[in-house]
Amino acid sequence: MKIFAERVLLSEGWKSKQTLTIENGIIISITSGKDESAECVGTVIPGMVNCHSHAFQRAFAGFSEQGSDGQDSFWTWRNVMYQFLANLTAEDAKTIATQLYIEMLKSGYTRVAEFHYLHHDINGQPYSNLATMAEAIFEASEQSGIGLTLLPVLYQYSGFGQLPPNAGQKRFINQTNTFNNLVSDCYQLSQKFGNTNVGIAPHSLRAVDKSSLQDAVAHIRALDSEAPIHIHIAEQQKEVDDCLNYYQQRPVQWLLNNFQLDPQWCLIHATHINEQERDDLIATKAIAGICPTTEANLGDGIFPTAEFLAQGGTIAIGSDSHISVNPVEELRWLEYAQRLIKQQRALLATLEQPSVGQYLWAHTAKIGAQSTNSNTGELAVGKQADLLVLDENKLSLFAARDAHVLDSLIFATQNNVISDVMVNGKWCIRNGAHAIEQQASAAFAQLLKQVSQSL
């Protein structure tokens, strides 16, 4: 397959009139000029990687916005989540994930890291096939066409000090040996499904202890020495306070002191991080996984993004609870939160790359690929062909010089300007549409109607 791009954002920057040759999902050559056999497209940019997703939560977006006399918080939001998922089946999980992944593709995500913790049946009992729920996620990724990094979640306790799990968490809980067996089963599944891989996600320091975390890390690294390891950490101030009370250390500080972090670790949120933790985290080359729309929706707080990036830190973005499924909105709010704090503009850029939009898109796509251990995130020879084609008619209504394209995309456009999406060398979205989106949305809408009656 060959495509001719009038302009394309390559790893070294914008280039005009380039032909990309793709074989077996990989870009094998990029040459100047038009190959007569190539399909002609306009503006091409790399696909975005979503570093943090809880797929089932897409189905209760909008159900948790009722007021509570100023008493609502992340912790009360969780109760709505527990109530919602109590009766979801594996088929329901597949229906939700398929709808979500099509939405992701249409908005520009070409790969997702699925932080998957809905493991057991509605009674909290393990399925005879431990990976039943996980297999539903693999099938949804296959049907939609999105690349998948599955991260089975180790979840054992309801709070620091190995507090017993509450009733709402019964579908999440695994002992370490069972969890490691589940991970092995998922690893085997990933050999059957194309464009997928497996890591792990210890849920949080409040949900696992040191010994179980050590065992889980050792197990996945025995299967794959570069497997991604993601963990929620320091998302809420209460979590920091509880960690201080139990460990006498802050969460990121404790993790850094007890584990050898590396570039395959991704610390999700890390919202409440102090300067010493920030500096020490940067030194490990681990990633901060930021989810601006969910962090805003849950009232988490704001990550010190400007300082973290200025000192050489790396970040990826995720849609987390899917209150928004749009990388443009995530990046817009990543920058806007810093502007509101600092009362300045155009903060997340560099002297080498003064375009905020271009810097953020290129950085988070590349680091998102690192967070999933996938050969994606930038367009170059040897990389997987995960790319987006922008609608020239819509782009023409905004500043459209090379230097302004991604600034316009992120800060000026209100409607989706992505017309076509390729994943692993295959077109998943053409002219803004997915081949199965109508049946997927109909099934999802029917499920939503049933679920809403129980809330």
Percent of the chain with pLDDT over 90: 90
Residues 6+ apart with CB under 8 A from 104: 50, 112, 144, 146, 319, 325
Same domain, 154 and 300: yes
Active site residues: 269, 320
- pTM assigned to the model: 0.96
Model confidence band, residue 67 (pLDDT cutoffs 50, 70, 90): low
Mean pLDDT, residues 397-410: 94
Same domain, 40 and 52: no
pLDDT digits (tens, 9 = 90+) for 406-427: 999 999 999 999 999 999 999 9
When mean pLDDT is compared across 24-28, 55-59, 94-98, 176-180, the lowest value belongs to: 55-59
Model confidence band, residue 256 (pLDDT cutoffs 50, 70, 90): very high
* pLDDT for 278: 98
Model confidence band, residue 82 (pLDDT cutoffs 50, 70, 90): confident
Same domain, 389 and 423: yes
* pLDDT for 69: 56
188 pLDDT higher than 80: yes
Same domain, 339 and 389: no
Same domain, 137 and 32: no
Same domain, 254 and 290: yes
* pLDDT for 435: 98
81 pLDDT higher than 90: no
Residues 6+ apart with CB under 8 A from 110: 47, 48, 49, 146, 147, 376, 386, 387, 388, 421, 422, 423
Residue 454 lies in a domain: no
Model confidence band, residue 276 (pLDDT cutoffs 50, 70, 90): very high
Mean pLDDT, residues 391-403: 92
* pLDDT for 68: 62
Residue 27 lies in a domain: yes
How open is the CA angle 367-270-150, to the nearest 5 degrees? 55
Same domain, 205 and 59: yes
Mean pLDDT, residues 260-287: 98
Same domain, 25 and 15: yes
| More reliable by pLDDT, 69 or 299 | 299
Same domain, 265 and 391: no
Model confidence band, residue 323 (pLDDT cutoffs 50, 70, 90): very high
β-bridge pairing 287-290 and 314-317: parallel
* pLDDT for 83: 77
Backbone angles phi, psi at 55, to 5 degrees: -55, -45
Residue 451 lies in a domain: no
pLDDT digits (tens, 9 = 90+) for 123-180: 999 999 999 999 999 999 999 999 999 999 999 999 999 999 999 999 999 999 999 9
* pLDDT for 70: 54
pLDDT digits (tens, 9 = 90+) for 91-120: 999 999 999 999 999 999 999 999 999 999
- CATH number of the domain that residue 119 is part of: 3.20.20.140
Pick from 304, 386, 243, 323: which is nearest to 74 by CA? 323
* pLDDT for 330: 98
Domain that holds residue 416: 2-46+380-437
- CATH number of the domain that residue 415 is part of: 2.30.40.10
How far is Cα 453 from Cα 455, in angstroms, rounded to an integer? 6
* pLDDT for 351: 94
Residue 167 lies in a domain: yes
Model confidence band, residue 353 (pLDDT cutoffs 50, 70, 90): very high
β-bridge pairing 418-423 and 387-390: antiparallel
Q: Cα-Cα-Cα-Cα dihedral of 138, 214, 313, 249, to 10°? A: 130
Model confidence band, residue 60 (pLDDT cutoffs 50, 70, 90): confident
Single residue among 333, 352, 372 that ends a domain in this structure? 372
Model confidence band, residue 314 (pLDDT cutoffs 50, 70, 90): very high
Model confidence band, residue 71 (pLDDT cutoffs 50, 70, 90): low
Residue 452 lies in a domain: no
Model confidence band, residue 62 (pLDDT cutoffs 50, 70, 90): confident
Give the residues across from 51 on adjacent strands: none
Single residue among 372, 397, 428 that ends a domain in this structure? 372
Model confidence band, residue 455 (pLDDT cutoffs 50, 70, 90): low
Q: Reduce the DSSP state of residue 229 to 3 states and report it.
A: strand
331 pLDDT higher than 90: yes
Same domain, 395 and 350: no
Residue 444 lies in a domain: no
How far is Cα 218 from Cα 107, in angstroms, rounded to an integer? 36
Q: Reduce the DSSP state of residue 123 to 3 states and report it.
A: coil
Q: Reduce the DSSP state of residue 220 to 3 states and report it.
A: helix
Pick from 362, 326, 398: which is nearest to 45 by CA? 362
The burial class, CB within 10 Å (0-12 / 13-18 / 19+), for 343 is exposed
Q: How many domains does the chain have?
A: 2
Residues 6+ apart with CB under 8 A from 138: 148, 150, 189, 190, 192, 193, 196
66 pLDDT higher than 80: no
400 pLDDT higher than 90: no
Residue 88 lies in a domain: yes
220 pLDDT higher than 90: yes
Mean pLDDT, residues 367-378: 98
Length in residues, the chain: 455
The burial class, CB within 10 Å (0-12 / 13-18 / 19+), for 192 is exposed
Same domain, 60 and 37: no
Residue 362 lies in a domain: yes
- 331-334: Cβ within 8 A, 24+ apart: 331/357, 331/360, 331/361, 331/364, 331/410, 332/410, 332/411, 333/292, 333/293, 333/296, 334/290, 334/292, 334/305, 334/360
Same domain, 407 and 364: no
